[in-house]
Each structure stands twice: as structure tokens, then as C-alpha cells.
Amino acid sequence: MKILFLGGTGNISGECAELLHGRGHEIFVLTRGRGEVPKEYEAIQADRKNVANMGQALKGVKPEVVVNFIGYEVGDLEVDYELFKGAVRQYIFISSTVEYERPSKRLPYTEDAPQENRWWDYAQKKIACEAWLGARQAEGFPATIVRPSHTYSKRWVPNAVSSGSFSFAKRLEDGRPVYVHDDGESLWTVTAASDFAVGLGGLVGNEKAVGEAFHITSDEVLTWNQIYEEIANAVSAKDANVVKVPTEFICEIVPSMVGNLKGDKAHAGVFDNSKIKRFVPDFRCSKRFSAGVRESVDWLQAHPEQQNLSPQVDETIEKVIKAWQERGKSR
């Protein structure tokens, strides 16, 4: 099949494109021309926001399946709808599990859980996108919804501050302190992108998946303390200095963390994967986090230019810890 990726070189999408290419599909990747697209794929340069420009760039491509990893607002989907309605077999929208109600009244989350995350505008925009697509589905647009949770590749080391930067892991490696929200015992799910790709790959071109929504996550559930312990092990940190700080305090000191914590990671994230397993029988998450995070750390240490070290992440961590320690001294 001809598969068009809107975003095909990122943390999750890169693994998905690689798997589908390995299965013999023809891969096209829409790009703004800023990032490098693997030579095995065909790069298509266009302005994502411009229907006419997109249409001209895609002239003659005629994809059978479109996978949208970079749809964040309804306006993004409106462009796609004008281009692909009546022209594709399937349109897969990568949404997110963040749209589920936080905290949940029932675990594990299933695909019909309430979509009522009031804490994070990112979640609310994804909810709006899904609602808009639902109306288009009723008109015959062949959409499939996919909701990943906290998914990582060799480029990411998952944490609750900023997974896209190696800064959190680097602090552990250097013996500098980091913080964990609350007591660090809330449950969380992290998923290797290579495992996620198997689930997505089984949905691509699957006519039974049209009109359906799926989350694709690991079945391995860890506490944040366990996650940080595995990161510390991966960077060979002898004595990890992890300071426990209440979520409310973190959000008071750094308001920008409200969505990330109150709207997501401060609450239990555990997911029922029975639906994706019914539709994609070969889907299973075989990579345990202890192995996956070591692969990520090893790769990023070997490719320092990809570490994306962030002074802002260091500043956030130090600001929270300093304020919490000062609060303790004042009591």
C-alpha cells in the first residue's frame, strides 16, 4: 500500500514508518524540509496549513492510507478532510490517552472512558479533534482513532518533567537531585515505540478498524519510583537523589506543570489493551522498561548531539527542589 505519514520521523512515528516499510509498504513522509527523512521513504515538502500547497505537493501520490501524527487542532483536520475525503481507504488520527478523565473513577481505562480532562488544553484540543472526526465518520469519512499513552523510543527517556530531553537522566548520571511528584507510588504505563508500532501496523489498512478507537500501550505497570530507579540503573547512577514533592506544590511553583501533572502523570495511568489485541492478534508489548530505557540511554550517550539538553528543564527541577527545601526550613 501507499501510506502517507503526516509526521514520520518523530519519537513514535519513526518506529511505525520503519516497521511498515519493512513489511513492504511504500512510505511517503510529509515534511517542512527541516528534518532529515530516511532515503528509503519519499519526502514530500509542503505547508501543512495550506490546502492548495498540500494538494499540489501530493499531486500524483494518491495514498491509500494516511496516518496523522501531527494533528493538534480541528483546523489541522479540516485541511486533511478537504484533501482526502473520498480519496483514501483509511485515515488514522493519532490522538492521546490524556483526554480521559483525571483522576479516573475506574481502572484500567477502556476506550469508552469519559473524555473529560479539564486540566490540560492539549487534552481538550485532542477531544475536540475526535469529536469533529466523529461527525465526519457519520458522513462516510474512513477514520480510525489511536490513543497512545507515554511512549518512548531511543530518542526519549521517559520522566514526568520532559521526556524529549536527556536532561533529567543526565542529572541522575551526574549525581544531581531530581524530584518525583507526591510519594512516587502512583501507577504509570510507559510503552516502547517499537511495540506500539506493531499495534498500529496491524490497524493500517484494516477495514474492520474504520470507525473504531483504540489505545495502544504496554501491559507493564510501574510506579514512578520504579521508573526513576530504572533510569538511574541505566545511567549507572550509584546513589539516585530523588526528592519527593507534592503535586500541588510543584504546580504552585511552576504553573506550566499543571497540565502535565494534574492532567496526566500525577494520576494512575493503567489501560485495558484487550480491544487492540482482538483486532491485531500479533500485538504484544515484549520490551520491558528496564531493557527499553537502557537502550535509550545507551543510544543517547553514543549520540550526544541528539540529547537535546535543556537549561529550562534544569531550571525547573532546581526551582522546585529549592522552593520545597526552603518550605521545609521555614516550618
Of the given ranges (32-46, 169-183, 185-199, 298-312), which has the lowest mean pLDDT? 32-46
Angle at 103 (CA atoms; ends 98, 106), nearest 5 degrees: 100
pLDDT band at residue 34 under the 50/70/90 scheme: low
This prediction's pTM? 0.95
pLDDT for the residue numbered 33:
63
Report strand pairing: 90-94 vs 143-148. parallel
- Kindly tell me if the per-residue pLDDT of 239 is higher than 90: no
For the chain, what is the mean pLDDT? 94
**SS3 label, residue 202:** helix
Contacts of 326 (CB under 8 A, 6+ apart): none
Q: Are 31 and 42 in contact (CB under 8 A)?
A: no
Q: Are 29 and 42 in contact (CB under 8 A)?
A: yes
Q: What is the pLDDT of residues 202-226, one digit of tens each?
A: 999 999 999 999 999 999 999 999 9
Q: What is the pLDDT of residues 245-282, one digit of tens each?
A: 999 999 999 999 999 999 999 999 999 999 999 999 99
Q: What is the pLDDT of residues 66-110, one digit of tens each?
A: 999 988 999 999 999 999 999 999 999 999 999 999 999 999 999
Which residue type is seen at 295? E
User: With the CA atoms of 73, 75, 81 and 83 taken in that order, what torsion angle do they form, in degrees rounded to the nearest 10?
Assistant: -120
pLDDT for the residue numbered 10:
84
User: Which domains does the chain carry?
Assistant: 89-330 (3.40.50.720)
Composition of the chain by helix, strand, coil, percent to 5: 45, 15, 40
C-alpha span between 310 and 298 (Å, rounded): 19
Q: Are 51 and 82 in contact (CB under 8 A)?
A: yes
pLDDT for the residue numbered 221:
97
Angle at 78 (CA atoms; ends 77, 79), nearest 5 degrees: 90
Which residue type is seen at 115? Q
